[in-house]
Amino acid sequence: MRRFSLLAASMLAFATPALADDCRPEFVDTTETVNVSNVEVGLGEFSRENFNIRVRSVGDGPCNARIRFTRLGGASAVDMPPYTLRSGSTILEILSEGAAPTLDSDLIVPNAPTGPQGRAVPFQLTMPSEWGLKAGSFGEQIELTLIDLAGAEVDKLLLTVNVTIPEAVALRVVGATGSNDIARIHLGNLSSSAPTTSDPFGVRIWSTSGYRVALSSENKGQLVHEGNLDRFTYQMFFDGQAVNLTGGDSFVFPEHTPSLGRIHPLRVQTGPVRARAGHYEDRVTVTVTPV
């Protein structure tokens, strides 16, 4: 009976978790950097980066801990693209300095093992990379605090997040017929006694930086007869300004666009026209480039 009691006590001792005093978790490293690059900007686009934070126990055995996330400097940096941090299925809340913890600001790390490498806790940074972002390099720092079973802060790690948004532009003609890279406007039957003006149309431009819009005419600002038997001049207006189609013209806009882009109205006007009957046309190429 005495021997049985001793064996039971021994089994109980091995089954009992390490006491709080023996639970001494720590980060393996003191810093970690996540670089978000090769970003594709466009409708519905996302950028994702995976990284690990290693946690180990320097006590007598494995023990549990919590990681808390706090953004240094308070709010996110100016023009810093918004992103989320996730570990597994858990979306983490990043606290402002001095803010009280919440259910989503602490991540439980169960059974952090002993040994120099510890356990790699997986994370994923997800950033929507749709239009509305501003080109450039941005960064901020997040302080990760390690908390033991007793609720004491036992270690810290500095996480630096760097994001590079490229210069990117896109263009779409609105209010005109056609698809893909070619659109058409029709002036209809031209008058010999009064000017003819096109219906409203324009271009919608998305850009992560300032941009330049260049317009060039294949026929130097003239509508040419289908058999090249006649021609006459016309005018094009971009954002209400006359375009010099004889030598090409460009307009510079110093700011990036909002998420819905920026519409620049276009208008074509000609006449009164006295010319040979037939079909006339010209091709104007609109090019947008980041500046």
Assess whether pLDDT exceeds 70 at residue 252. yes
The mean per-residue pLDDT over the stretch 27-47 comes to 96
Instruction: Give the predicted TM-score (pTM) of the model.
Output: 0.83
Distance CA 200, CA 227 (A): 29
Looking at domain 169-290, which of 2.60.40.1090, 2.30.29.30, 3.30.70.3270, 1.10.760.10 is its CATH number?
A: 2.60.40.1090
pLDDT band (50, 70, 90) for residue 161: very high
Distance CA 166, CA 35 (A): 14
Tell me the domain boundaries of the chain. Answer: 20-165, 169-290
Distance CA 129, CA 39 (A): 7
Query: Which pLDDT score is estimated for 30?
Result: 97
Contact 123, 85 (CB under 8 A): yes
Distance CA 282, CA 239 (A): 20
Assess whether pLDDT exceeds 60 at residue 243. yes
Cα dihedral 200, 201, 206, 212 in deg (nearest 10): -100
- For the ranges 5-9, 51-55, 176-180, the one whose mean pLDDT is highest: 51-55
- DSSP codes of every residue in 12-66: HHHHSPPPGGG--EEES-SEEEEEE-SPPPSTT-EEEEEEEEEEEE-SSS-EEEE
Distance CA 149, CA 281 (A): 78
Query: Which pLDDT score is estimated for 76?
Result: 66
Contact 250, 238 (CB under 8 A): no
Cis peptide before 272 (omega within 30 of 0): yes
Looking at the chain, the whole-number percentage of residues with pLDDT higher than 70 is: 91
Distance CA 263, CA 114 (A): 60
- Whether 169-290 and 20-165 are alike in CATH topology: the answer is yes
Average pLDDT, the chain: 90
Looking at domain 20-165, which of 2.60.40.60, 2.40.160.20, 1.10.357.10, 3.50.50.60 is its CATH number?
A: 2.60.40.60
Q: Which amino acid is at 126?
A: T
Q: 152: which 2 tokens?
A: 């004491």
Maximal CA-CA distance, the chain: 122
Assess whether pLDDT exceeds 90 at residue 251. yes
- Bridge partners, 25 (sequence order): 57
Distance CA 23, CA 152 (A): 11
How many helices (H) does the chain have, and how many strands (E)? 1, 25
Query: Which pLDDT score is estimated for 59?
Result: 87
- DSSP codes of every residue in 225-237: ETTSS-EEE-EEE
Distance CA 43, CA 10 (A): 63
